[in-house]
């Protein structure tokens, strides 16, 4: 004999399913709201977990910088000049290279090579040396003052301005960078 199926739960079952469906949607909304509220804190904690790391230039970094300097030296030779390590003269040479549009705006590597030469001039003027600066955004070559947390990032100083359409002259940029950085150095008030 087959037992008779009860039909009494037939009307209660959709209500149960509807209740659990609403409860499930409500739980999803609560979880999404909590995630949205906690996201900034989690993102900040994750971003700050990677501290800044400063290292000396590797042999590959030094070779790269030498190749960058040689690239700019070739451009300077095309206008009858050379890089001599004197700020006024070399800044004028870099400016002429830009003025004569010898480097296309799309040639980021060469524009950054000019930034390396610009950085050498800043380093000489401010007694700063090249280091590898690593943070949560990546790895960069930077200038550092002794063992202090005073850094300049000259590799992109020219390229970003040129690619952004700026026609700012290099000599005022150099002078302003030197002036602003000197204020941060020990005894900087004496330079004002």
Same domain, 134 and 160: yes
For residue range 114-125, what is the model confidence (pLDDT) as tens digits? 999 999 999 999
Same domain, 78 and 168: yes
Q: In a 10 Å sphere around its CB, with 0-12 CB exposed, 13-18 middle and 19+ buried, how is residue 41 labelled?
A: exposed
pLDDT-derived band at 113 (thresholds 50, 70, 90) equals very high
> Residue 4 has what pLDDT?
59
Same domain, 90 and 171: yes
Q: Can you tell me the mean pLDDT for 9-29?
A: 62
Q: Determine the Cα–Cα distance for residues 168 and 88; give it in Å rounded to an integer.
A: 16
**Model pTM?**
0.73
Same domain, 32 and 74: no
- Answer whether residue 35 is part of any domain: yes
> Residue 89 has what pLDDT?
98
Q: What is the domain extent for residue 36?
A: 9-48
Arithmetic mean of pLDDT over the chain: 86
Q: In this structure, what token pair is assigned to residue 121?
A: 């001039």
Starting at the earlier edge strand, list the strands of the sheet with 53-56.
53-56, 128-135, 138-145, 151-152
Taking 60 as the threshold, does the pLDDT of residue 39 lie above it?
no
pLDDT above 90 coverage of the chain, percent: 70
């Amino acid at each position: 004999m087959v037992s008779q199926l009860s039909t009494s739960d037939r009307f209660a079952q959709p209500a149960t399913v509807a209740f659990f469906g609403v409860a499930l949607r409500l739980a999803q909304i609560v979880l999404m709201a909590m995630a949205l509220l906690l996201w900034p804190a989690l993102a900040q904690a994750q971003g700050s977990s990677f501290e800044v790391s400063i290292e000396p230039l590797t042999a590959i970094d030094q070779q790269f910088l030498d190749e960058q300097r040689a690239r700019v030296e070739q451009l300077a030779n095309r206008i009858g000049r050379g890089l001599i390590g004197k700020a006024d003269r070399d800044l004028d040479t870099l400016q002429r290279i830009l003025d004569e549009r010898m480097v296309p705006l799309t040639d980021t590597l060469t524009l950054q090579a000019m930034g390396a030469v610009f950085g050498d001039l800043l380093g000489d003027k401010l007694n700063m040396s090249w280091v590898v600066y690593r943070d949560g955004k990546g790895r960069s070559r930077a200038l550092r003052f002794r063992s202090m947390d005073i850094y300049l990032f000259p590799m992109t100083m020219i390229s970003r301005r040129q690619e952004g359409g700026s026609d700012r002259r290099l000599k005022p940029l150099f002078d302003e960078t030197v002036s602003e950085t000197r204020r941060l150095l020990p005894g900087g008030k004496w330079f004002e």
